[in-house]
Amino acid sequence: MNRKLIALDARLYGGTSSGDSTYWTGLINALFDCEHEFDVRLFANVEPPASAPDNIRKNWVTVAARNGRIWSFVTWPSVLRSVAPTLVHTQYSLPFGLPGRKVTTVHDVSFCINPAWFSRKDRWMLTKGVASAIRRADIVITVSETSQKEIEAYFPEAKGKTRVSYLAGNPTLRGGHHLPVAPFVLSVSTQWPRKNIQLAIDAMGRLPSDLTHRLVLPGKSGASLRLNDRVETKGYISESELADLYASADLYLCPSLHEGFGLPLVESFSAGCPVLASRGGSLPEIGGNACEYVPDWDPQNWARRIELLLRDSGKLAAMREAGLKRSQDFSWEKCAQKHLEFYREAIQ
DSSP string, 228-289: -TTEEEEES--HHHHHHHHHH-SEEEE--S--SS-HHHHHHHHHT--EEE---TTHHHHHGG
Instruction: Mark residue 84 as left, alpha or beta (left: phi above 0; alpha: psi -120 to 50; beta: remaining).
Output: left
The pLDDT assigned to 18 comes to 80
The pLDDT assigned to 178 comes to 75
Domains of the chain: 4-168+331-347 (3.40.50.2000), 184-327 (3.40.50.2000)
- This model's pTM is above 0.75: yes
- The secondary structure of 111-132 as a DSSP string is HHH-GGGS-HHHHHHHHHHHHH
User: In this structure, what are the phi and psi dihedrals at residue 298, rounded to the nearest 5 degrees?
Assistant: -90, 120
For residue 287, CA distances in Å to 69, 101, 175, 207, 335 come to: 36, 34, 22, 25, 17
Q: What pLDDT tens digit does each residue of the chain (348 aa) get? A: 579 999 999 999 988 768 899 999 999 999 999 999 999 999 999 999 998 999 999 999 999 998 989 999 999 999 999 999 999 999 999 999 999 999 999 999 999 999 999 999 999 999 999 999 999 999 999 999 999 999 999 999 999 999 999 999 887 777 677 776 889 999 997 778 899 999 999 999 999 999 999 999 998 766 688 999 999 998 888 888 999 999 999 999 999 999 999 999 999 999 999 999 999 999 999 999 999 999 999 999 999 999 999 999 999 999 999 999 999 999 999 999 999 999 999 998
Cα–Cα dist 237/28, whole Å = 24
255, burial (CB in 10 Å: exposed 0-12, middle 13-18, buried 19+): buried
